[in-house]
């Protein structure tokens, strides 16, 4: 009898995998399948690329490409005047589209955090200086976001309409995550927007819920119904290049490295309340 039930369940799963996936994820979240959460899809990447044909290409960094496309699309529709990016790295796929714009005042901050896949200190500095020379319109600040005392007199508070980042937040420990977001809140104007892509393993609802809670804890409004979270059906979800993860991002784990799972990205779309 038990085996028969198992067999029926397997047949049912095969017959309608999409519905069963949604049922499984609903079970995972314990609630309904409604959600405002924006999880990257291949179709959305394709549509967003229409206005930026340079980014409609094969890529080893699809999640990063998507993040910058989503940000460029937002800038084109909302026309923010002052934009602040944290964690630009030494190069990113959105740079030639974003850092050459003259219709926005763009500030950008980063510093060498010793990430293995980048470069040693000397090489990092040389590349950073070259970046500053290449994009003279951008106001580069060599420091990390998250320490308002250190940034006093360097990064203005209550100044920016938009704070952005791509593939940075998932690298931060929960405490640092909150420090960075509190600082982002401080430099934003009331009514200003935080628009950041955050990568995570597909289906990792626990991490997602914890981060939603942190974003709100820092004072932001983020209209996500966290009681109804679900990940969309995997046939359209945008995924990180698996070989890139193993060869590049997990490099420091050596010969015994083990693939931790497929990553996608979600957009944090939060607002500093006007009354703040
Ligand atoms: C994975 S890289 C992403 C780089 C770039 N955004 C891209 O998509 O190619 C993460 C970057 O975030 C930077 N970063 C980490 N913590 C930061 C912080 N608190 N403030 C600014 N940048 C930070 C790191 O130095 C690194 O350059």
Mutate which of 40, 70, 113 to test ligand 1's pocket (most atoms within 8 Å of Cβ)?
A: 113
Q: What percent of the chain has pLDDT over 90?
A: 68
* pLDDT exceeds cutoff 90 at 215: yes
Q: Which fold has domain 31-271?
A: Rossmann fold (3.40.50)
* pLDDT exceeds cutoff 50 at 126: yes
| Tens-place pLDDT, residues 22-49 | 554 544 443 434 456 788 999 999 999 9
Pocket lining for ligand 1, CB < 6 angstroms: 64, 86-89, 92, 109-110, 113, 115, 144-146, 166-168, 171, 180
Q: Where are the domains of the chain?
A: 31-271
Residue nearest to atom 10 of ligand 1 (CA): 168
Looking at ligand 1, which atom is closest to the CA of residue 145?
20
89, containing H or E segment: none
pLDDT of residue 196: 98
Looking at ligand 1, which atom is closest to the CA of residue 87?
22
pLDDT of residue 8: 54
Between the CA of 26 and the centroid of ligand 1 the distance, in Å, is 33
pLDDT of residue 202: 86
Question: Which pLDDT band holds residue 175 (cuts at 50, 70, 90)?
Answer: very high
Burial of 204 (C-beta count, 10 Å sphere; 0-12/13-18/19+) = middle
pLDDT of residue 30: 39
Distance set, CA 195 to CA 31, 85, 159, 198, 220 (Å) = 26, 10, 16, 10, 11
Residue nearest to atom 11 of ligand 1 (CA): 87
Angle between helical axes of 17-29 and 2-15 (0-180°, round to 10): 110
Looking at ligand 1, which atom is closest to the CA of residue 68?
8
Largest CA distance in the chain: 73
Question: Which pLDDT band holds residue 260 (cuts at 50, 70, 90)?
Answer: confident
């Amino acid at each position: 009898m038990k085996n028969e039930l198992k067999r029926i369940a397997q047949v049912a799963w095969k017959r309608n995998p999409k519905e069963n996936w949604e049922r499984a994820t609903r079970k995972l979240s314990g609630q309904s399948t409604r959600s405002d959460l924006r999880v990257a899809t291949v179709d959305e990447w394709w549509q967003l690329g229409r206005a930026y044909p340079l980014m409609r290409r094969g890529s080893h960094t699809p999640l990063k490409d998507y993040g910058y496309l989503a940000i460029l699309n937002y800038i084109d529709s909302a026309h923010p005047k002052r934009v602040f990016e944290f964690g630009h790295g030494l190069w990113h796929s959105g740079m030639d589209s974003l850092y050459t714009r003259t219709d926005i005042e763009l500030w950008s901050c980063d510093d060498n955090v010793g990430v293995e896949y980048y470069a040693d200190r000397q090489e990092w500095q040389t590349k950073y200086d070259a970046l500053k020379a290449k994009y003279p319109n951008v106001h580069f600040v060599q420091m990390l976001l998250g320490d308002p005392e250190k940034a006093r007199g360097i990064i203005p508070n209550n100044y920016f309409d938009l704070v952005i980042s791509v593939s940075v937040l998932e690298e931060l420990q929960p405490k640092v995550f909150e420090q960075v977001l509190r600082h982002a809140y401080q430099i934003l104007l009331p009514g200003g927007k935080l628009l950041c892509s955050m990568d995570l393993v597909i289906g990792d609802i626990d991490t997602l819920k914890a981060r939603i809670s942190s974003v709100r804890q820092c004072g932001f409004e983020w209209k996500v119904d966290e009681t109804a979270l679900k990940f969309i059906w995997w046939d359209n979800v945008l995924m990180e290049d698996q070989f890139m993860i193993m060869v590049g991002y997990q490099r420091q784990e050596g010969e015994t490295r083990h693939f931790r799972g497929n990553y996608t990205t979600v957009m944090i779309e939060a607002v500093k309340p006007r009354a703040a």
